[in-house]
Structure 1
Amino acid sequence: MDNKKTNPKKKQGKSLTKRITGWLHLWLGLISGIIVLTVTLSGTVFVFCDEIVDLCAGNAKYIQAPAHAKKMTPEELLVKFHEQVPDRKAFYFDTYKEADRTFRVASATKPPKDKNAEKADKPKGKGRGPRGVFAYHYLDPYTGKIMGSTKSYEFFYVVAHIHAQLLAGKFGKTVVGIASIIFFIQLIGGLILWWPKKWNKTTRTTAFKIKSGTKWRRKNYDFHNVFGFYSLLPAVFITITGLIMAYKVLTDLTQVTFGGAPDAHKIAEKYEPKFDPDKKALSFTDFIDRGFKEIPEAKQIRMSVPRKDSATVYNVVAAKFIGLKSIIDGKSKEVNKYTGDEINYPKEVLMHEVIEHMNFDLHVGYWGGMFGKIFTFVIGIICTSLPITGFLIWWGRRNKSPKKNKEIKNIHQHRKESHHEQLV
């Protein structure tokens, strides 16, 4: 038999494509690693914001409903709220169909009235800016007494802004956008590096399974590659939906593609009623009664509290559950405060809101209820781990003995060389 056919083929090095990809994967990862870790971790924490907010509320969510008692009107409850916490300003409230649920008010501390006071507050790190500090207060709907409060709202507001802009305004948003693009490139590059030169039983095992009984360096390498592969498609999807929110050009392109209007807010103003000081607005109770009547399965209604008397449109949400940014089995609408009728916006304006909310739901996992949240949370944990495991791979290569160097090298070349065994 010809010796050339019986001997294993000569070992070949990495292709030019993989060498270039590997170099980019390493240095792009080192440059963006901390930013990517911060963005993915904050996004992962935000997934379960509604559950954590309710958990923080504790017993304040419920009261012992008195027999034959009538709930106070939202207007009366808001007056009671501001009497008890005069340093805060309500901007929306949640009321519930159940008799034993408390009335929830979302509010912010009033900003300093003068610039000197505002400057004095900034170095103290109290989070007091023009918007104030957010919080939820829970009121007994029969007496107006505050039963408890939580600043979990403020916590998740900060988490969301870390995720979107690193609490650094436009500059931070730009940094996050660039890091997200790099992460997208990293995901594609990771797939190229993961892909075996030839598929066989050995390479399939190495590519899809974490080898047991190995030392931490090999275990870390397997975690980075195997979990990175399994999370690739959802991670790409989450990254794309995030980029759509980060870049206006992508936002507008998405709106136009699916029938929405990029300038929906400007168009909407033309269809909103003009302020008339001689007209009287309907009570909050009127809107609440309409909401429960229109959506019988609704258990919760959220209404915006207008900042100015000149505001002519109220936002009303009726649903089975309403969270910080989620709506389950319900509807959000803008209504005329004088008539209670829904504003008759053009189709492209309504589609703008649908597309915007759908993209957000896809990004944070609200698309599939609890399953969607758990799935997105797991993917978020994996994405958060990738910069760490990748850094450890690089650090291990820099700080290894010659003997270890040979062992690690064999790991990287294992998939390429394994097919030689079948040629013997």
Structure 2
Amino acid sequence: MEKNKPGKKFRKYIRTLHLYLGLATGLVVFIVSITGCLWVFQEEITALTSKVPEVVPQTNPEIYPLEAKNIAQSVFPEKYIHGTLYGGGKKPIEVIFYEEEPEFYQSVFLHPWTGEILHTEDHLTGFFHFVLDGHMHLWLPKELGSEIVAWSTFIFFLMLVSGIILWWPKNKKVRKQRTWFKWKPSTKWKRKNYDLHQIIGFYASFIAVIFIFTGLVMTFETFAKVFYNGIGGEKEVVFAVPENPSGSFKNSPKKNEPIRELMPFLKEKFPDAKDFEIHYPHDENHSIYVEVSNSDGIYYDSDYRFYDQNDLSEVPSKTIYAVYEEAGVAEKILRMNYDIHVGAIAGLPGKTLAFLISLLCSSLPVTGFLLWYGRKVKAKAPQRQEKQVLATSN
């Protein structure tokens, strides 16, 4: 008996920790899980419901990036243009406006060959913006909501680990009982709820920890750096646009600006690219930043390329955001983080798995609360009634 006491005490501490952490973060975990579940197929659903018109492809050159910028700027004259997306095929050119404070996020869609304004879209409205805001900020002010989500996610990570410890039985016979539902017609809802919490929690935990871990990498900058350095990374975990090696931009009326030749240059160099997102230089000293998408539905294998404003010579990057094929193992793993988080890394099966795991995780705070409520709150009710009867009789 004495030998078992330390083990029992340890499990008791773990159970108490699991309980109070669950009660403290249950609502947050439920919201983050449900919204994450809804977000998984956002791209596919948005593509089906999009109001952006298609265009008939032509053989003549498309309008060049500065033309697209000037046309779109007429719609929102005082707003900052984040970049211009050339999707090719039947897709119009998308000029993206974004400002952080006060937040402004809209797109202007242009006809690639005539420059006609086809459509404008506000990304801060609609169902999926509501979902993402809940997932990242709980519909609270960003500074407050993001902190609550971040630390609740970390706590949920600890809860999954403690839950596995509590689940793990001492012998094989009990272990079999905890790996599948064995309900009889006479099984009460309390037992069913207990089994749902334990069995679903056990199976979901091993995959959920991956999604939670990737969420922590995106949430905590220090956590991301420690993880990256821990797997052998040596580059800077920041995004930075390098300066022009040739110095300040030297515009001359005798020659076309190099950026005019950028799109023909990119299409010739990367004929298999899915799209090109052009980011205009911050000033005359910085290079042109281009994100070259190499695959549909994923982001990790995109190339981050930088070109001198004066001659379009390629400028190397010292950060993890560079050419994918030239990246080391640590860089590739870190760049895969978002695609792993939403399951896109494994295509449609991966997204389906992410959807199901998020849905199962959302059930854990509910079944856990019902367990606590049934044991503590309802159990005290008969005792209170008994005391009232005794008091009345006296």
Question: Which amino acid in structure 1 is aligned with residue 362 of structure 2?
Answer: T
* TM superposition shift of 1:29: 0.3
Task: Say if 2:288 is the partner of 1:314.
Answer: yes
Distance (Å, rounded) in 2 between the aligned partners of 1:278 and 1:227: 63
* TM superposition shift of 1:90: 2.6
Distance (Å, rounded) in 1 between the aligned partners of 2:257 and 2:133: 35
* TM superposition shift of 1:32: 1.3
Question: Which amino acid in structure 1 is aligned with residue 93 of structure 2?
Answer: F
Change (3 A) 1:185 1:257: closer
Distance (Å, rounded) in 2 between the aligned partners of 1:284 and 1:277: 11
Trace 1:180-199 onto structure 2 (pairs within 5 A). Answer: 180-199=153-172
Which of 257, 271, 290 does residue 296 from structure 1 map onto? 271
Q: Could you report, residue by residue, the CA deviation over 1:225-264 in whole angstroms, capped at 9, with x for unpaired residues?
A: 2111111112112222222333343222223233434645
Which of 336, 340, 358 does residue 380 from structure 1 map onto? 358
Which of 47, 71, 80 does residue 80 from structure 1 map onto? 71
Distance (Å, rounded) in 2 between the aligned partners of 1:174 and 1:403: 37
Task: Say if 2:86 is the partner of 1:95.
Answer: yes
2:206 corresponding residue in structure 1? 233
Trace 1:250-399 onto structure 2 (pairs within 5 A). Answer: 250-261=223-234, 263=236, 265=238, 272-273=244-245, 275-279=247-251, 282-284=257-259, 286-306=261-281, 308-310=282-284, 312-321=286-295, 326-327=298-299, 330-346=302-318, 350=322, 354-398=332-376
Distance (Å, rounded) in 2 between the aligned partners of 1:76 and 1:271: 23
Given that 1:295 and 1:319 are in contact with CA atoms closer than 8 Å, whether structure 2 keeps it comes out as no
2:115 corresponding residue in structure 1? 144
The alignment-based identity, stated in percent, is 27
Which of 13, 16, 32 does residue 20 from structure 1 map onto? 13
Task: Say if 2:165 is the partner of 1:175.
Answer: no
Q: TM-score, normalised by structure 2?
A: 0.77
Q: Could you report, residue by residue, the CA deviation over 1:385-410 in whole angstroms, capped at 9, with x for unpaired residues?
A: 211221122223345479999xxxxx
Distance (Å, rounded) in 2 between the aligned partners of 1:265 and 1:192: 37
- Secondary structure at the aligned position of 1:92 is classed as strand
Which of 39, 49, 66 does residue 32 from structure 2 map onto? 39
Question: Which amino acid in structure 1 is aligned with residue 113 of structure 2?
Answer: Y
Change (3 A) 1:294 1:88: same
Distance (Å, rounded) in 2 between the aligned partners of 1:52 and 1:321: 19
Given that 1:77 and 1:144 are in contact with CA atoms closer than 8 Å, whether structure 2 keeps it comes out as yes
Distance (Å, rounded) in 2 between the aligned partners of 1:247 and 1:84: 36
Given that 1:37 and 1:387 are in contact with CA atoms closer than 8 Å, whether structure 2 keeps it comes out as yes
Q: TM-score, normalised by structure 1?
A: 0.72
Which ranges in structure 1 are unaligned for 5 or more consecutive residues?
1-11, 110-128, 406-424
Which of 33, 41, 47 does residue 48 from structure 1 map onto? 41
Question: Which amino acid in structure 1 is aligned with residue 70 of structure 2?
Answer: V
Which ranges in structure 2 are unaligned for 5 or more consecutive residues?
384-394
* TM superposition shift of 1:203: 4.7
Count, aligned residues: 366
Distance (Å, rounded) in 2 between the aligned partners of 1:86 and 1:150: 16
Given that 1:139 and 1:147 are in contact with CA atoms closer than 8 Å, whether structure 2 keeps it comes out as yes
Distance (Å, rounded) in 1 between the aligned partners of 2:382 and 2:198: 20
Given that 1:39 and 1:164 are in contact with CA atoms closer than 8 Å, whether structure 2 keeps it comes out as yes
Deviates more, 1:41-50 or 1:20-29: 41-50
- Secondary structure at the aligned position of 1:94 is classed as strand
- Secondary structure at the aligned position of 2:311 is classed as coil
Question: Which amino acid in structure 1 is aligned with residue 108 of structure 2?
Answer: H
Question: Which amino acid in structure 1 is aligned with residue 375 of structure 2?
Answer: R
Change (3 A) 1:206 1:261: closer
* TM superposition shift of 1:219: 3.2
Q: Could you report, residue by residue, the CA deviation over 1:310-343 in whole angstroms, capped at 9, with x for unpaired residues?
A: 35222212235566xx427642322222222332
Deviates more, 1:190-199 or 1:395-404: 395-404
Given that 1:164 and 1:246 are in contact with CA atoms closer than 8 Å, whether structure 2 keeps it comes out as no
Change (3 A) 1:380 1:63: same
Distance (Å, rounded) in 1 between the aligned partners of 2:133 and 2:30: 15
* TM superposition shift of 1:78: 2.8
Given that 2:251 and 2:257 are in contact with CA atoms closer than 8 Å, whether structure 1 keeps it comes out as no
2:192 corresponding residue in structure 1? 219
Given that 1:187 and 1:232 are in contact with CA atoms closer than 8 Å, whether structure 2 keeps it comes out as yes
